[in-house]
């Protein structure tokens, strides 16, 4: 996909970024594992990155309701399939792009410890690249901080990280 965007002139080959949250954060984890050299920066927000462990815990809200979408990992076929793409379980010794991983302390859908242990394992396994920024919003849930201006500040921080990593500088007027 990124190659097609570059070929068509929609993206510069040295300035490719991606953003995703929740299940989209799972996608960010997958692309950073499978094609890290194609991205310069990834914003992964409240990422669902430890698929197997999370789906094996029926006490987490929504887990059993999600069996129709994700499968029940207590069944070996689903377990093996989830393990094959789970970003946390597929981190390896390689260079990773710069990443901003954000979570909320009060998230009932993707608890803060899931991205926290993902970032810890990522930092332990990566051989270069980065930086990896981990932001825990102590007042937020799954949708980020409430309040119009708080949300803008949160988004501004994420975009500032992205623009900085892409080498975008303020234009002199």
Which residues are known catalytic residues? 22, 107, 142
Quote the tokens at residue 169. Answer: 């500088």
From CA 57, how far away is CA 28, in angstroms rounded?
Answer: 23
94 Cβ partners below 8 Å, 6+ apart? Answer: 36, 125, 126, 127
Tokens 């949250």 identify what position? 21
Q: How far apart are the first and last CA of the chain?
A: 35
Cβ pair 48, 110 in contact under 8 A: yes
| Distances 95 to 34, 39, 54, 91 between C-alpha atoms, Å | 11, 11, 26, 11
At residue 143's C-alpha, the angle toward residues 29 and 74, to 5°, is 50
Residue 95, strand partner residues: 128
């Amino acid at each position: 996909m990124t190659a097609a965007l570059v070929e068509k002139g929609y993206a510069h080959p040295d300035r490719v970024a991606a953003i995703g949250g929740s299940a989209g954060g799972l996608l960010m984890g997958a692309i950073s594992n499978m094609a890290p050299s194609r991205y310069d920066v990834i914003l992964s927000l409240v990422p669902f990155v430890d698929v197997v462990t999370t789906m094996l815990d029926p006490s987490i809200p929504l887990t059993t309701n999600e069996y129709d979408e994700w499968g029940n990992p207590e069944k070996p076929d689903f377990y093996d399939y989830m393990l094959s793409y789970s970003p946390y379980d597929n981190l390896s010794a390689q260079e990773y792009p710069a990443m901003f991983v954000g979570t909320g302390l009060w998230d009932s859908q993707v608890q803060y410890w899931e991205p926290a242990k993902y970032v810890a394992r990522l930092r332990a396994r990566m051989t270069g690249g980065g930086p990896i920024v981990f932001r825990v919003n102590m007042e937020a849930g799954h949708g980020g901080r409430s309040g119009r201006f708080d949300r803008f500040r949160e988004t501004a921080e994420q975009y500032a990280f992205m623009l900085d990593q892409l080498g975008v500088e303020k234009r002199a007027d």
